[in-house]
Structure 1
């Protein structure tokens, strides 16, 4: 790379209640690749609601960002991964909200021309989590699944992937309007409150925590599986085992795609193949210039977006 600095989004000052400036743009040194890393010129990145929550803690200057799509401008020196010039989708350790980033080749997959950078950007955290939860759950053909917080990007990926395998999915959403697309993707039922879901369910998947998880636990069949993969509601999960009764015989597993095993590159390649074949459809609520990052972070925080938000790098 010939430039001496790379524009990147970093954590700004901790916002006051009247300040929604989560991040600011800074000029940073050109990334130095380590062994097994390629430099990717980022074309698009996707932001997830979980990243909004992550931004509440780090100090100013911290670099957010996992998902990215772009072109390899410097191939890995060890010969691994995609060649220079390849169109790729990737999962950065952090710092993907930048014009260029070093990415392990074990977390890069090539993109065919049929898959746009906008389609590819959300195939990171949201789609990887969905794919890996389904792998952990095992065969779900004919099984009943309950998913909370389903109106976001992950929920759309999960419903489509699960129904492709023959699962019967009930999705919990804030409103019927926000969940309408989930029915088109194969969801069997929509409810606006966990308590209204008609169980029992073989697998319960909760990303909200707090009372949502407590209620969801009462919906799982004895011997079933509960995957708890987030706390988007901002409240700690409470387990009242005395109130659960027989569902307490279920397995309760804290889940994260970071430590769920397997190769990011292989899983990303699987997701790319499904998109290219028309079997998986990233639900993108908005595509905007990355100058709008703060605006979209606020909309994600306030749950005004449905599906994924994608930012295009400019300048």
Structure 2
């Protein structure tokens, strides 16, 4: 079958190539999905350029897919063949077909197309789990950095619906324009412009952004660190932190750790989108032959929201 394969990490013009891969060999609890669309995430671009370890031999990218089940799981779990689904496999999703654990997929209603659904998994699941990590947000002031990406759009809308007062930080006002209609009360282009204190900070940029955001916390506030999009390491001065907000805390966040399955969270996201309560921001839709171009644009931070490729 055709699939997107990793290119050379040294060749920035060809981070991936369209080639041939073996057909998926599903485990008993896995369904085979014919992929109609998939989303590209910044974390996958980091893996492709060597910034993150690929973790296993034979790795191919692809964690966000939507399509149709063509082979139901042998153990009887999950949907029947012919069911439209959105799924979050561990990898291999940038291909014509992929095997997915049935606990990592959700059925799609007729009202939800594959392109929209493909933008949901990693970014949407991350946003849901960030909200749980922060606890109740009603009436609380929230600062969100790196807000113009896929996670930021979902997190803004979900947190606003929970009653939070959100200040969104984006590189430019243009990149963050849609966040105000989604519920943000304020849009700024630098953490230095923020008018704290904030009860919760969601920090995804790293570098100088994190200590600047940390200083904006209220006493007893919480910073949830969920990314380092700048690719710049964070330097924290103990004495600055010690003299900062009293009893402030930094929370480690790993979206893969949860009491819920990916499938359960995808089902919740699908329900919210179908009900008109969550609105995916899709910044680009292209044929999958243009995957390398999308990766280049993501690396250059030229796409707002999610980038989706269609297979066919």
* Map of 2:184 onto structure 1: 187
> 1:129 maps to what in 2?
126
**Stretch deviating more after TM superposition (59-68 or 228-237):** 59-68
Q: List aligned pairs for 1:71-110, cutoff 5 A.
A: 71-110=68-107
1:303 to 301, 304, 310: 301
Select 1:47's aligned residue among 17, 30, 40: 40
| Whole-Å separation in 2 of the counterparts to 1:199 and 1:54 | 35
State the distance in 1 between where 2:9 and 2:302 align. Answer: 22
Residue 65 of structure 1 deviates from its aligned partner by 1.2
1:134-157 deviations in whole A, cap 9, x for unaligned? 012111011111110001111111
Which whole-Å deviations, capped at 9, do the CAs of 1:266-311 have from their partners, x for residues lacking one?
Answer: 1100000000000000001111100010001000000111111110
- Mapping of residues 145-224 of structure 1, within 5 Å: 145-224=142-221
The question of whether the paired residues in 2 share the 8 Å contact of 1:11 and 1:61 is answered with no
* Structure that is richer in helix per residue: 1
| CA positional deviation for 1:241 | 2.4
Tell me what 2:253 maps to: 255
Distance 1:246 1:173 in 2: 24
Q: Contact between 2:59 and 2:91, CA under 8 Å: does it hold in 1?
A: no
Name structure 2 gaps, 5 residues minimum: none
C-alpha distance in 2 between matches for 1:234 and 1:242: 25
Q: What is the aligned partner in structure 2 of residue 25 from structure 1?
A: 18
Task: Report deviation, 1:35.
Answer: 2.1
Alpha-carbon offset, residue 25 of structure 1: 1.5
Task: State which drifts further: 45-54 or 85-94.
Answer: 45-54
Distance in 1 between residues matched to 2:93 and 2:78, nearest whole Å:
18
1:178 is paired with a residue whose SS is: coil
Whole-Å Cα distance in 2 between the matches of residues 142 and 34 of structure 1?
A: 46
Q: What whole-Å deviation, never above 9, does each CA across 1:171-213 have from its counterpart, x for those lacking one?
A: 0001111111000111010110111111111110111111111
Corresponding residue for residue 312 of structure 1: 310
Superposition map of 1:242-281 within 5 A: 242-244=239-241, 245-247=243-245, 249-281=247-279
CA-to-aligned-CA distance 1:217-254 (integer Å, 9 cap, x gap)? 10111111111011110111222221132326212112
**Alpha-carbon separation, structure 2, partners of 1:13 and 1:246:** 45
- Alignment-derived partner of residue 56 in structure 1: 49
1:113-135 alpha-carbon deviations (Å, 9 max, x no partner): 00110110011111110011101
Q: Who is 2:108 aligned against?
A: 111
Q: Unaligned stretches of 5+ in structure 1?
A: 1-5
Contact 1:12 1:61 in 2 (8 A): no
- The TM-score, its normalising length taken from structure 1, stands at 0.95
Are 1:9 and 2:7 matched, yes or no?
no
* 1:139 pairs with one of 136, 140, 143: 136
SS at match of 1:187: coil
Contact 1:109 1:266 in 2 (8 A): yes
Task: Quote the Cα distance in structure 2 between the aligned partners of 1:7 and 1:248.
Answer: 56
TM-score by length of 2: 0.95
Equivalent in the alignment of 1:3: none
C-alpha distance in structure 2 between counterparts of 1:15 and 1:38, whole Å: 35
